């Protein structure tokens, strides 16, 4: 029996409805591909670099090759068959050489048939296997380092953000955060990167309110955190963002460079970046299969709903989104321990009983997803610039986190929404977290609300409202629910949004070696 006395039949009904809600969208993802999925296949096979003949060299070869294949023969059959057929028959020494010839305009792609198609398929599978083997080695290396260096002994894990725009400035800040107690370091992406339909190349030093997500930046930060992990005696995890128009590619790069967590919500890009829903769901399925293979923990973005919608009236939409995220994740092969489902402390503090309501919502999430490392997000919407009040709110947020056994705690800053926090702000915030965890770290073992009291009744009410909403979503369809503004009050129709032109319906002969290999394992 749960602490809240949640009706088991209602919980089962909620999960069944979530599965029914996502099933048509999963089928949509299974029958479509996108330019980013196809580019991810080439990245997994080892294609790197940019075309120096275009602009300032920012257009990656994977973009040039996929775009050329699409122009010449279409993407309905995938990029793998035309590319590896050309690689085998065109006298190219490597994928990179093929890409350079594409750049010079001297390559004509064709979709092979018969034995030629079989040979191209085998070659593509072999190349993709090598990339997945690197992902597998990184997963084993993470496990080895955790065993050798040690894991944080206390939950929740303390999660801190760095993002100066300059990877070489981010590194010392990240190491300082680890020394001060951070268990997870997240590098915020440069503003607007989610809307770029390409991944920048190399180490970057000029991001805007964040640092560009690139393979080289991933490699540099992972190496730096490995060094400080040995110093502090615990494995420090690295987080970035697999969202936006290049979600599958960034997920692939994360697997190739041993990142440990990735922001990867099923609907965030749709609602808050106006990316086409179909593009997002197709890209999301591929990216989550990569994360499953790589042993990466995903973080979802339900906290964002509460920045646009009322945290009390719309609490059930957070629960619905968590259940939908879980259903999508399981279908893609992610295990419960990889589901950093999000929620937040965003109720107006002037509302009577706001703390009890926060406890109810946090306990509901904890009991619905007992094996998930839930990600608990600090107050932002009602931070006013009064640093003393903000510091107190963050203390209450930390207390709810430990009372309800959250898995990942993003450290709240007293200057949130006022300025970019100084290192001194982070130090004070960490002092707040350490005090609460040291003083009340085991409180979730003792805290049991009255079975028919305010907290338990509120949790059951939200669960009931979530089931009612899921019933409507099943009847109307998830895509229509998104179009109607069900989540975060933002309306996003399925036939609009950025990136729709990058969606392609698969032909009967479609071949994607990465999907074939990952689906076989899942």
Question: Residue 417 has what pLDDT?
Answer: 65
Q: H-helix or E-strand containing 299?
A: strand 297-299
Size of the chain in residues = 522
Instruction: For residue 91, give both structure tokens.
Output: 């006298």
Question: Residue 153 has what pLDDT?
Answer: 87
Q: Which of 110, 62, 4, 1 is nearest to 365 (CA)?
A: 4
Give catalytic status of residue 101 as yes or no. Answer: no
Q: H-helix or E-strand containing 162?
A: strand 157-162
3-state secondary structure 89-101: HCCCCCHHHHHHH
Question: Residue 56 has what pLDDT?
Answer: 59
Question: Residue 55 has what pLDDT?
Answer: 58
Beta carbons of 346 and 309 less than 8 angstroms apart: no
Q: H-helix or E-strand containing 215?
A: helix 215-232
Beta carbons of 263 and 301 less than 8 angstroms apart: yes
In sequence order, the 6+-apart residues with CB closer than 8 A to the CB of 254 are 218, 240, 242, 262, 290, 291, 294, 296
> CA geometry: angle at 412 spanning 205 and 231, to 5°?
60
Question: Residue 309 has what pLDDT?
Answer: 80
Cα–Cα distance measured from residue 135 to residue 29, given in angstroms and rounded to the nearest whole number: 23
Q: Which of 441, 435, 378 is nearest to 160 (CA)?
A: 378
Give catalytic status of residue 274 as yes or no. Answer: no
Question: Residue 54 has what pLDDT?
Answer: 60
Give catalytic status of residue 208 as yes or no. Answer: no
Catalytic residue among 268, 305, 391, 510: 268
Cα–Cα distance measured from residue 483 to residue 476, given in angstroms and rounded to the nearest whole number: 11
| pLDDT tens, N- to C-terminus, the chain (522 residues) | 478 999 999 999 999 999 999 999 999 999 999 999 999 999 999 999 998 876 555 799 999 999 999 999 999 999 999 999 999 999 899 999 999 999 999 999 999 999 999 999 999 999 999 999 999 999 999 999 999 999 998 889 999 999 899 999 999 999 999 999 999 999 999 999 999 999 999 999 999 889 999 999 999 999 999 999 999 999 999 999 999 999 999 999 999 999 999 999 988 899 889 999 999 999 999 999 999 999 999 999 888 877 778 899 999 999 999 999 999 999 999 999 999 999 999 999 999 999 999 999 999 999 999 999 999 999 998 998 899 999 999 999 999 999 999 999 999 988 876 656 677 888 899 999 999 999 999 999 999 999 999 999 999 999 999 999 999 999 999 999 999 988 877 899 999 999 999 999 999 999 999 999 999 877
Catalytic residue among 183, 303, 394, 425: 303
Helix (H, G, I), strand (E, B) or coil at 469: helix
Helix (H, G, I), strand (E, B) or coil at 498: strand
Phi, psi of 157 (to 5 degrees): -65, 140
Question: Residue 163 has what pLDDT?
Answer: 86
Only one residue has tokens 């973009």, namely 63
Could you give all domains of the chain from N- to C-terminal order, each with its CATH number?
Answer: 155-458 (3.20.20.440)
Beta carbons of 277 and 317 less than 8 angstroms apart: no
Residues in a beta bridge with 263: 241, 299
Catalytic residue among 51, 212, 283, 375: 375
Q: Which of 191, 229, 226, 232 is nearest to 212 (CA)?
A: 191
């Amino acid at each position: 029996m749960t602490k809240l006395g949640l009706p088991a039949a209602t919980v089962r009904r909620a999960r069944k409805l979530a599965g029914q809600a996502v099933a048509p969208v999963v089928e949509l993802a299974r029958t479509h591909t996108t330019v980013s999925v196809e580019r991810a296949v080439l990245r997994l096979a080892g294609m790197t670099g940019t075309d120096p003949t275009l602009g300032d060299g920012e257009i990656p070869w994977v973009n040039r090759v996929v775009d050329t294949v699409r122009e010449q023969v279409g993407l309905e059959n995938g990029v793998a068959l035309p590319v590896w057929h050309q690689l085998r028959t065109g006298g190219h020494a490597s994928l990179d050489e093929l890409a350079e010839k594409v750049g010079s305009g001297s390559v004509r792609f064709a979709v092979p048939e018969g034995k030629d198609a079989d040979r191209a398929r085998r070659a593509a599978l072999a190349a993709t296997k090598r990339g997945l083997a690197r992902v597998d080695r990184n997963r084993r290396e993470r496990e080895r380092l955790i065993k050798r260096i040690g894991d944080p002994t206390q939950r929740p894990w303390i999660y801190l953000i760095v993002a100066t725009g300059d990877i070489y400035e981010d590194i010392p800040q990240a190491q300082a955060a680890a020394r001060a107690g951070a268990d997870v370091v997240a590098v915020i992406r440069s503003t607007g990167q989610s809307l770029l339909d390409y991944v920048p190349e190399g180490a970057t030093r000029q991001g805007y309110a964040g640092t560009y997500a690139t393979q080289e930046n991933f490699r540099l930060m992972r190496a730096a955190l490995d060094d400080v992990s040995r110093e502090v005696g615990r494995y420090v995890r690295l987080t970035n963002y697999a969202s936006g128009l290049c979600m599958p590619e960034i997920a692939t790069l994360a697997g190739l460079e041993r990142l440990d967590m990735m922001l990867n919500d099923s609907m965030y890009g749709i609602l808050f970046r106006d990316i086409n829903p179909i593009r997002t769901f197709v890209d999301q399925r591929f990216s989550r299969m990569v994360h499953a293979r790589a042993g990466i923990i995903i973080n979802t973005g339900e906290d964002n709903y509460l920045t646009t919608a009322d945290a009390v009236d719309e609490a059930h939409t957070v629960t619905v989104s968590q259940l939908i995220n879980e259903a999508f994740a399981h279908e893609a092969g992610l295990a419960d321990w990889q589901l950093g489902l999000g929620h937040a402390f965003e109720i107006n503090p002037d509302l009577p009983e706001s703390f009890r309501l926060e406890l109810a919502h946090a306990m509901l999430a904890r009991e619905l997803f007992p094996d998930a490392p839930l990600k608990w997000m600090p107050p932002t919407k009602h931070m006013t610039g009064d640093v003393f009040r903000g510091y107190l709110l963050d203390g209450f947020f930390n207390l709810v986190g430990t009372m309800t056994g959250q898995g990942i705690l993003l450290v709240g800053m007293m200057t949130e929404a006022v300025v970019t926090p100084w290192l001194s702000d982070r130090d004070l915030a960490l002092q707040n977290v350490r005090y609460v965890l040291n003083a009340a770290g085991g409180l979730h073992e003792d805290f049991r609300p009255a079975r028919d009291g305010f907290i338990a009744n509120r949790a059951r009410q939200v669960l009931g409202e979530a089931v009612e909403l899921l019933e409507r979503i099943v009847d109307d369809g998830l895509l229509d629910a998104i179009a109607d503004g069900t989540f975060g009050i933002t309306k996003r129709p399925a036939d609009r949004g950025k990136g729709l032109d990058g969606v392609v319906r698969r032909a009967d002969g479609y071949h994607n070696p990465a999907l074939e290999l990952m689906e076989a394992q899942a």
